Structure formats: structure tokens, C-alpha cells
Amino acid sequence: MKKRLIARHPVAELASLLLFGIFVLFLLLMLLFSARIYQQTVKNTNAENTLGTAVSYLTTKFRQHDTVNGIFTGKLDNLSALCFRDTLNDQDYITYIYLDQGNLKELFTSDSSSANASAGTTIAQLSDFQISESRPGFYSFELKDSEGNKETFYLHQNSVSKEAS
């Protein structure tokens, strides 16, 4: 039995090499585009998580304290704060939510004690936190994260004191 030698043509080898090169180039382009899409998705998710966490937390606290005189705006160490009043065992306590050095913080303290803003617990990292009460019981919130993403929302207190109406 004789073995036949098949002659190789340079054109066939070049075509195979060209096809392989196109395949590798296509794979590299797909990898680059996928990496860019992944980075953008992670960036958007982080922004949504930061602002979403803060919005959810504020909304939950607001709803928990929706009682007469339970919600008001105030100051803590010259920082604007959203304040919630609790009464436990005939003692008044205030929960302050405020922005301190790029962190949205919460501080729960006795109404009669002197509170210090640096003692608060960090909720989220924000670059801006604005709250205003346009009318009694109507609050406007504006949050901004370190990436510049903004979130504005409004909450209405159902239990507004008779004096404020």
C-alpha cells in the first residue's frame, strides 16, 4: 500500500490562517465590548443601590413615625436633619437623620441629652441631602450620590397635628 502525499497549496494555508485570525479578532472584540457593558452595568447598579437604600430607609422610617408630632425637621450641630420622635417609658427620644461629611447618618438619642453629629451610624454615602417641609405634613427629599446621580421624592404625613393644619 502506497501512501499518497497530498500537496499543500499556499493559498489553502493562507485562507485557513486568515479565517483563524478573523475568528480571534472577533473573539477579542466581543471580549472588549462585554467588559465595557459589564463596567457600565456595575456602575449603574451601585448608583441605584446607594440611592435606593437611602430612599427605602427614609420612607420606612417616615411611615413608622407617622403619628401626630412624630415627624419634624430640625438641626443637629448646625446640620439640617429629619427628626422622628418616639416615647418610651414616658421618656422622649429623637432619631436624627442628617448628612455629615458625605455620609447619610442616623442618631437615636434622648430628647434631653446633648447629641453630637459624629456619633451617628452611617446609612449611605451621599454628596447631598436636602429636606424641606412645603406645607405641614408635606416633605420633599432630594438626594445626590458621589457619582452625581440624583433622586427626588415626596412623602406626606397622614397624622398632622391640628395646630399645624
Provide the pLDDT for residue 164.
46
**CB 76 within 8 Å of CB 98:** yes
In a domain, 21, yes or no: no
Q: How many Å apart are CA 144 and CA 125, to the nearest integer? A: 9
Q: Which are the contacts of 72, defined by CB distance < 8 A and separation ≥ 6?
A: 83, 85, 133
Provide the pLDDT for residue 134.
86
In a domain, 36, yes or no: no
Residues in the chain predicted with pLDDT less than 50, given as ranges, are 163-165
**Domain boundaries, position 82:** 43-156
- How many domains, in total, are found in the chain? 1
In a domain, 56, yes or no: yes
Q: How many Å apart are CA 111 and CA 94, to the nearest integer? A: 6
In a domain, 18, yes or no: no
